[in-house]
């Protein structure tokens, strides 16, 4: 189990993480999602014991990243978002080098390399130069490297970034295999649907703060009552926007051309009542479109709302 306990991190005056608390259960896949600069890499670097917290702590199976870094390192495998591979080495030599760094015996290394290459679908590349691998293959080789000492916990910072769709699917399949092997996986991405498919839980980071966290099904269920509504009007869009924006069931009302869009909370009857009210108020509605929100929409809405509140200093 991984427990973030009020973790904050400052770089000078930049608050990269602000009071982040969350729990990741063993054997689950937890996804950190957030835009560029949200704090994902900072959270992972702290978890990987590479940089210190400013305050708070992270416990990995009860061990503190601050006070018991060695014990934590033995339990984790960390794949950074940018990594170098030693181009002049062959795939086998590359993994062998890391195995030696972990002081594995030659026999153990040989067995481990065979196992890992099979897991990351690179068996047939064993004797090729790392330099000759595609980006996706290099990414998978790096993943194999993080597994060489058989860690229980994997910290993967944007493992699918820069990969083409096929390579992304391969990476996803490998992560599912790793989960079946009982690994706990922390993964980050700025692409929410990519995480939604494989993660048991996700956390949305925005400007260093954890603004939503939980089981994907739960988060989706919370959204069931909410939908995107777009109302097209034939004239006086300004009054129409003001009318809808003032309704208690409406949030985030915006206007673009003749279309007023907003998030609506309520069932079909509530929708019908609002439409009737609008028409009675003299708004000339020409069309109405309703869309259920998906996770990607939620991510956009949550991060936009937080950004708006911050710019207004609320
Ligand atoms: N070494 C550093 N020195 C100063 N500021 C930093 C440093 N590393 C990160 N930051 C700042 O901290 C904030 C969080 O950065 P971080 O790299 O953790 O975000 P991220 O979510 O991983 O973004 P990305 O997806 O772009 O990697 C940003 O404002 C960033 O500019």
ipTM greater than 0.90, yes or no?
yes
Stretch 175-185: mean pLDDT? 93
> How would you classify the pairing of strands 209-215 and 226-233?
unpaired
Per the DSSP assignment, residues forming a β-bridge with 88 are none
What is the residue-wise DSSP string for 114-142?
HHHHHHTT-GGGTTSBGGGS-HHHHHHHH
Distance from Cα 206 to the centre of ligand 1, integer Å = 12
Q: Which residue has the higher pLDDT, 185 or 224?
A: 185
Stretch 226-246: mean pLDDT? 90
3-state secondary structure of 218: helix
Q: Evaluate whether 2-213 and 224-311 have a shared fold.
A: no
Q: Is 34 in the pocket of ligand 1 (CB under 6 A)?
A: yes
Closest ligand 1 atom to Cα of 43: 18
- The answer to whether residue 146 scores a pLDDT higher than 80 is yes
Q: Which residue has the higher pLDDT, 221 or 140?
A: 140
Q: Is 7 in the pocket of ligand 1 (CB under 6 A)?
A: no
Q: In this structure, are residues 109 and 93 in contact, taking their beta carbons and an 8 Å threshold?
A: no
Architecture label for domain 2-213: 3-Layer(aba) Sandwich (3.40)
**Domain extent listing, the chain:** 2-213, 224-311
- The answer to whether residue 31 scores a pLDDT higher than 70 is yes
Stretch 66-76: mean pLDDT? 94
Distance from Cα 194 to the centre of ligand 1, integer Å = 21
Please tell me the distance from the alpha carbon of residue 57 to that of residue 260, in angstroms, as a whole number.
Answer: 46
Instruction: State CA 235 to chain mean position distance.
Output: 42
Distance from Cα 155 to the centre of ligand 1, integer Å = 17
Type and span of the H or E element at 305: helix 295-311
Stretch 225-236: mean pLDDT? 84
- The answer to whether residue 153 scores a pLDDT higher than 60 is yes
CATH code, 224-311: 3.30.70.100
């Amino acid at each position: 189990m991984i427990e973030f306990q009020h973790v904050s991190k400052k770089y000078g005056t930049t608050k990269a993480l602000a009071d982040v608390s969350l729990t990741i259960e063993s054997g689950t896949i937890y996804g950190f999602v957030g835009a560029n600069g949200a704090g994902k890499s900072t959270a992972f670097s702290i978890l990987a014991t590479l940089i210190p917290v400013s305050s708070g702590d992270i416990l990995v199976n009860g061990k503190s990243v601050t006070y018991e870094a060695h014990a934590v390192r033995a339990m984790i495998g960390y794949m950074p978002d940018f990594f170098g591979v030693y181009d002049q080495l062959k795939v086998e030599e590359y993994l062998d080098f890391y195995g030696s760094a972990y002081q594995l015996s030659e026999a153990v290394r040989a067995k481990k390399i065979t196992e890992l290459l099979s897991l990351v679908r690179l068996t047939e590349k064993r004797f090729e130069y790392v330099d000759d691998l595609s980006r996706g293959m290099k990414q998978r080789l790096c993943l194999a490297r993080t597994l060489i000492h058989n860690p229980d916990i994997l910290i993967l910072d944007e493992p699918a970034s820069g990969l083409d769709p096929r390579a992304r699917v391969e990476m996803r399949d490998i992560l599912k295999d790793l989960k079946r092997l009982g690994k706990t996986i922390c993964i980050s991405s700025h692409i929410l649907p990519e995480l939604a498919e494989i993660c048991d839980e996700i956390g949305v980071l925005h400007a260093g703060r954890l603004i939503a966290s939980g089981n994907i099904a739960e988060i989706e269920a919370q959204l069931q009552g909410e939908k995107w509504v777009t109302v097209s009007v034939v004239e006086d869009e300004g009054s129409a926007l003001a009318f809808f924006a003032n309704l208690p069931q409406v949030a985030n009302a915006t206007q673009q051309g003749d279309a007023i869009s907003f998030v609506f909370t309520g069932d079909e009857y509530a929708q019908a009542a609002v439409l009737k009210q609008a028409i009675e108020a003299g708004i000339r509605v020409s069309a109405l479109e309703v869309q259920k929100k998906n996770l990607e929409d939620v991510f956009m809405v949550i991060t936009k709302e937080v950004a708006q509140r911050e710019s207004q200093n609320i």
